[in-house]
Amino acid sequence: MNVPPDTRPVIAITMGDASGIGPEIIMKALARADVLAMCRPLVIGDAGRLREAGALVGSSLNVVVRETPAEALYAAGTAECIDLGLIPAGHPFGTLSPVSGEAAYRYIERATRLVESGAADAICTAPLSKEALHSAGHKYPGHTELLAHLTGTPEVSMMLVAPKLRVIHVTTHIGLMDAIRKIEPALVERVIARGRATLVKSGIAEPRIGVCGINPHAGENGLFGQGEEEEKIIPAVRACQAKGWKVEGPLPADTLFFRAARGDFDLVVAMYHDQGHGPVKVMGLEAGVNITIGLPVVRTSVDHGTAFDIAGKGIADEGSLVEALRQATDLAPKRR
């Protein structure tokens, strides 16, 4: 009897910082039938740490070690793992550690190579600690910049997705004054284009895009600021409109996010980190997803941190990871 091919995408789930809640939320997520129904989840991490986390959350999953993705069976009741063996037994939860920082880097590196080779279809990342990453000698502001380096991608964008809201950022992990200096029309136009292309690919034929201003009231026609909107944003908006795209702005951020949440826009373009992150996390931190736009590989992530304060207690919520896996499944190349 011919067995039909399994068309579920293989999602490489990186374990993140082993001292944080990543191992716990992974074990919780992989126990859910809806996760196994939509994808083939493969953890890139440490099998021993997953077993410790499983005991903390009361999971009965059997952690199975595989050398390659092709060996994995993805059967119910199992957690398939490419075991890098970097975390010692009994390694403390809830504590900043260069050991965990080094391991988090290695998980991402392995997952990236697996997707580039075609052995996996997308990456879904559990949270890492930037401080732990730096303490291990890897001086990247976060996952986004690290993945850009590993894939040789000169420029990427961060998109956050929450219930009723999508936000793409022009700048992310830099100070506010540095962000304002970095923003310029060509960059804004490229970010709008990347966000629009992603939504078109996901099935929204003509995305409605709202672009934030930098200053209060989007500068109020020059009343606030030093003319940043006129210099840095308006030329990009006009260039996009000239292509026939549905782009509006610059608009006051406070009213734009309200309008987007009620359905007026499919995507908001935020100028800097906190302008975009604040509204998304208010709208739904537990279900928020971080998507890196512009990479040659699909990458989604939870939209929360390592939560060292509750790590090791078995109480972390897996909802954001499940939603990140759903987004990775939707964006992954389809297997024939």
262, 278, 294 — which closes off a domain? 294
Q: Decide which of 303 and 196 is more confident.
A: 196
Q: Decide if 158 contacts 205 (C-beta within 8 A).
A: no
Look up tokens 């879904």; give the residue. Answer: 124
Q: Is the pLDDT of residue 238 over 70?
A: yes
Q: Long-range contacts made by residues 215-222, C-beta under 8 angstroms, separation at least 24?
A: 216/252, 217/252, 218/249, 218/250, 218/251, 218/252, 218/253, 219/250
Average pLDDT over residues 75-90: 96
Average pLDDT over residues 6-17: 94
pLDDT of residue 6: 85
Tokens of 289: 């997803």
Q: Is the pLDDT of residue 220 over 80?
A: no
- Residue 111: give its domain's CATH number: 3.40.718.10
- Which whole-number Å values give the CA distances from 320 to 29, 65, 78, 119, 123, in the listed order? 10, 25, 21, 25, 15
The strand pairing partners of 3, in sequence order, are none
pLDDT of residue 336: 40
Q: Is the pLDDT of residue 250 over 80?
A: yes
Give the predicted TM-score (pTM) of the model. Answer: 0.84
Contact residues for 219 (Cβ-Cβ < 8 A; gap 6+): 213, 225, 227, 228, 229, 230, 250
Q: Is the pLDDT of residue 2 over 60?
A: no
Question: What is the rounded distance in angstroms from the CA atom of residue 161 to the CA atom of residue 139?
Answer: 27
Average pLDDT over residues 301-326: 93
Q: What count of residues does the chain have?
A: 336
Same domain? For 253 and 126 the reply is no
Sign of the torsion angle spanned by Cα atoms 240, 244, 245, 247: positive
Same domain? For 281 and 169 the reply is yes
Same domain? For 249 and 330 the reply is no
Average pLDDT over residues 152-178: 91
Q: Among candidates 240, 173, 243, 180, which has minimal Cα distance to 213?
A: 180
Question: What is the rounded distance in angstroms from the CA atom of residue 173 to the CA atom of residue 315?
Answer: 29
What value does the mean pLDDT of the chain take?
A: 92
Look up tokens 């004054």; give the residue. Answer: 177
Same domain? For 5 and 117 the reply is yes
**pLDDT per residue as tens digits for the range 30-78:** 999 999 999 999 999 999 999 999 999 999 999 999 999 999 999 999 9
To the nearest 10°, report the CA torsion of 322, 327, 328, 333.
150
Same domain? For 261 and 182 the reply is yes
Question: What is the rounded distance in angstroms from the CA atom of residue 151 to the CA atom of residue 131?
Answer: 22
Same domain? For 68 and 206 the reply is no
pLDDT of residue 231: 93
How much of the chain exceeds pLDDT 70, in percent? 96
Q: Among candidates 184, 114, 105, which has minimal Cα distance to 145?
A: 105
Same domain? For 190 and 221 the reply is yes
276, 294, 312 — which closes off a domain? 294
Q: Decide if 94 contacts 307 (C-beta within 8 A).
A: no
**pLDDT per residue as tens digits for the range 98-133:** 999 999 999 999 999 999 999 999 999 999 999 999
Residue 236 burial (CB count, 10 A): 26
Instruction: Please give the helix or strand (H or E) that residue 257 lies within, else none.
Output: helix 253-261
Same domain? For 60 and 165 the reply is no
Same domain? For 186 and 290 the reply is yes
Same domain? For 274 and 306 the reply is no
- Cα 221 → chain centroid: 35
Same domain? For 317 and 267 the reply is no
Provide, for the chain, the percentages of residues in helix, strand and coil under a 3-state DSSP scheme, each rounded to the nearest 5: 40, 20, 40
The strand pairing partners of 83, in sequence order, are 45
Q: How many domains in the chain?
A: 2
Per DSSP bridges, beta strands 40-45 and 78-83 are parallel
Per DSSP bridges, beta strands 165-169 and 157-162 are antiparallel
Q: Is the pLDDT of residue 223 over 80?
A: no
Q: Is the pLDDT of residue 164 over 80?
A: yes
Look up the domain containing 218 and give its range: 157-294
Same domain? For 172 and 299 the reply is no
Residue 24 burial (CB count, 10 A): 30
Tokens of 329: 């499944």
